[in-house]
Each structure stands twice: as structure tokens, then as C-alpha cells.
Structure 1
């Protein structure tokens, strides 16, 4: 999802507070949540880890492309302006 492991991220950014999710975009957080749910389903189905990784990677790429293109998702991360 982020292109690096948590350990690699900590090593590359030793002064960063929190974890990778704290710096994630809204789109990345949405896809990550979806991947966690889909992974649970694939585990329940008995899919091998290597096959799960392939499927999850393909799904994540598709979802990221879709979400980045949607203007409505960008608006979700914008603070509302109430009168």
C-alpha cells in the first residue's frame, strides 16, 4: 500500500511521529480499510498468502486509481464551511 514496510518507514523517517497511517491520504486510508476487510475474507476462504498478496495488490491499485479520480472523495477531506 505504501511501498515500504513499517520498519523501512521508521528507518527512513526516524523523527516522524506516529506511524505511516498518520501521514496517509484519505484515499490511502479508504483503500487500506478495504484491503483489511478483503484480506479477512480471503483468509477465511483459505487462499494462500502469496495469492492473497497478488489479489490485494491488484485490487488496491484499481481502488486507488478510482478514488483519486473522484472529486467527491477529495471533498470528504475538506473541512465543512458552515454559515
Structure 2
């Protein structure tokens, strides 16, 4: 028996693969599909890594709920950074 990975990043990747064109989030007039959300998370995670943010680093989040908060939270998880909610 092997352990199943239920990390947010794995769940996001699975949803992006299985339900690419389905709606993932609505933030006011901004609507993102699972594929679009996954792409934004990937781009932000790469941007963070390019600026020296590494696994285990703590990233303070001072945002209200919505697409930017969700994207940053998921990008932190993708690279192994720790999101500190303020």
C-alpha cells in the first residue's frame, strides 16, 4: 500500500488535467478555469524561484480573499515555501 498525495498542488494539477475548461474560481468579474489557474500558479512559482525564494522560506500574505490570494497561496505550496497569513 502506498501513500496518496493530497497536497494542494497535487489536487490543483489533477483538476487542471481532468477539468481544464471548467470554472475553478470567480473573483468579481474575473473567472478562471482550472487550466488558467494552474498556469498562473506555475508562472508565479517560477517568478518566486527566480528571485531566490526557496523551499522552507516564509512568505507573508497580506491579502483579502480572491484570485490573487489563491494564486499566491498555491504558488507557495508548489515551491515548498510557507505561506504566513497575516
TM-score with structure 1 setting the length: 0.37
Between 1 and 2, higher relative CO (CA 8 Å, sep ≥ 6) is seen in 1
Task: Write 1 or 2 for the structure with the bigger share of strand.
Answer: 2
Which structure has the larger Rg over C-alpha atoms? 1
Task: Write 1 or 2 for the structure with the bigger share of helix.
Answer: 1
